Amino acid sequence: MILVGRFGSPFVRRVAITLRLYGIEHEHRPLSASGDDRPKLQAINPLARVPALITDDGETLVDSTTILDYLDRFVGPEKALTPEGGDARTTVMALIGLAIGGVEKSIAAYYEMGKRPEEKWHRPWLDTLLEQSKDGFEALDKAAAMPWLAGNEMTQADISAVAFWDFALRARPTDAPAMVCPNIAAIADRANTLPAFAETKP
């Protein structure tokens, strides 16, 4: 398999961590959607988005949720980090939904600040994004069962949350309201000592 995209993207990183935890042999092509990489990426994914996964059968999958679903089925339900069904699956997917909500607002704020000159920032919109990101992660923190988000075992909720949390911390401006998330911070500290997480930190 071939994973396309840089670990600076939290969505690429959550796929990369999952591939490592599953022990799946793969090549990594760290392409981005900008600059000289864009034509190469567009040849793989017409949307020029990351992540993309080229399977051993030559099929190209885009969107990290689709890729993770494929990887779960590839390794089978006994090894998959997302439960196959029932209440356990609903719990994990609900936790991932909160994490995605938090990081998507962080990404939107990151692009507002990183792609536009400061004099063109729409400050009320930026403040709203930063507040929504804070609210999303704090809601996730309150939902944590501990010692992992869904209880005693690591799931995809933890992988996604750590990748998203690490990005949000890096991208958040110093004057933004602090995100008070002791449970997520503890999970991230513990997870980032594991090779699959440490090897993919941007």
Whether the full predicted model's pTM is greater than 0.85, yes or no, is yes
112 and 15 in a single domain? The answer is no
User: pLDDT of 26-54, one tens digit each?
Assistant: 999 999 988 889 999 999 999 899 999 99
Domain that holds residue 35: 2-75
33 and 93 in a single domain? The answer is no
94 and 134 in a single domain? The answer is yes
* Residue 91 included in any domain: yes
Which residue is associated with the tokens 């090549």? 27
Q: Where are the beta strands (DSSP E) in 96-193?
A: none
d(CA 193, CA 38) in angstroms, rounded, equals: 33
175 and 140 in a single domain? The answer is yes
Q: Is the peptide bond before 202 cis (omega within 30 degrees of 0)?
A: no
d(CA 49, CA 81) in angstroms, rounded, equals: 25
172 and 122 in a single domain? The answer is yes
Q: What local confidence, expressed as pLDDT, does residue 27 receive? A: 98
Give the mean pLDDT of 9-15: 98
Give the domain CATH number at 97: 1.20.1050.10
d(CA 90, CA 83) in angstroms, rounded, equals: 9
Q: What is the tally of structural domains in the chain?
A: 2
CB of 96 within 8 A of CB of 160?
A: yes
Name the token pair of 143: 């939902």
Q: What local confidence, expressed as pLDDT, does residue 116 receive? A: 84
Q: What local confidence, expressed as pLDDT, does residue 97 receive? A: 97
Q: Which helix (H) or strand (E) holds 38?
A: helix 37-44
CB of 108 within 8 A of CB of 94?
A: no
Give the mean pLDDT of 173-188: 96
Which residue is associated with the tokens 């995209």? 5
